[in-house]
Amino acid sequence: MPWIVFGNFNEIAYPHGKSEGSNRDGKQMEGFRDYLGRCGLFDLGYVGQQFTWCNGRLGNQRTKLRLYRIVRNEDWLWMYPKSSVHNFSMSIFDHCMLILALNLSQPRKPVKKQLVFEAMWTREEGCRDVVESAWDPLWCDLGLTITDKLKRCLEQLQRWNMRVFGNVNKVLQ
């Protein structure tokens, strides 16, 4: 059965899981690794900062450890092969936040078609009239930004394009 365990294990697995301070007991670390192995659990690794806990002291008194981790069994990894763990520093806390990203494939939302100006329009009679109409100072709302005006002009050109050329992309396919 797929399963995952996460939290503060209060032990590091290897000496590089600690910065500064006195050395950890090698037998304790080995015991921790053996226990995980007997349970069929393997570390998911991490993205971001290495250490997940800090004693809050300054200078050579400061110690950082990788106490928080996420471990999983093989069945769980088969279900979520693209999963990853992201470690984020919490500046006001001595503990790190871990985020598990499953990276599931999700159906994409339909993307709204982007409005594009077609160079061929400039060669067609009537294009100039559409642009002048869209930018007519008597017809324009004074509250519109230049971006709003450009968007409105392009929308009018798109409608004009459908009347004059029809669906060009459909014909080309």
| C-alpha–C-alpha distance, residues 83 and 101, integer Å | 5
C-beta atoms surrounding 124 within 10 Å: 14
- Domains of the chain, residue spans: 4-101, 119-166
Distance in angstroms (rounded) separating the CA atoms of residues 69 and 67 = 6
Proportion of the chain above pLDDT 70, given as a percent: 82
- CA count, 13 A, side-chain hemisphere, 137: 0
Q: What is the largest CA-CA distance in the chain?
A: 85
Most confident of 30-44, 51-65, 87-101, 119-133: 30-44
Q: What is the spatial order of strands in the sheet that 64-65 belongs to?
A: 18-19, 64-65, 53-54
Q: What integer pLDDT is reported at residue 110 of this predicted model?
A: 60
Averaged pLDDT for residues 82-111: 74
Burial of 34 (C-beta count, 10 Å sphere; 0-12/13-18/19+) = exposed
pLDDT at 146 over 70: yes
Q: Which residue has the tokens 């110690």?
A: 63
The burial class, CB within 10 Å (0-12 / 13-18 / 19+), for 71 is buried
Domain 4-101 fold: Deoxyribonuclease I; Chain A (3.60.10)
Q: Which residue has the tokens 């399963």?
A: 3
Q: Which of 6, 74, 85, 8 is nearest to 44 (CA)?
A: 85
For residue 128, give every residue at least 6 positions away whose Cβ sits within 8 Å of its Cβ, in sequence order, or none. Answer: none
The per-residue pLDDT for 172 is 44
pLDDT tens-digit map of 110-142:
666 666 778 888 888 888 888 888 877 666 566
CB 95 within 8 A of CB 52: yes
Residue 28, classed as helix, strand or coil, is helix
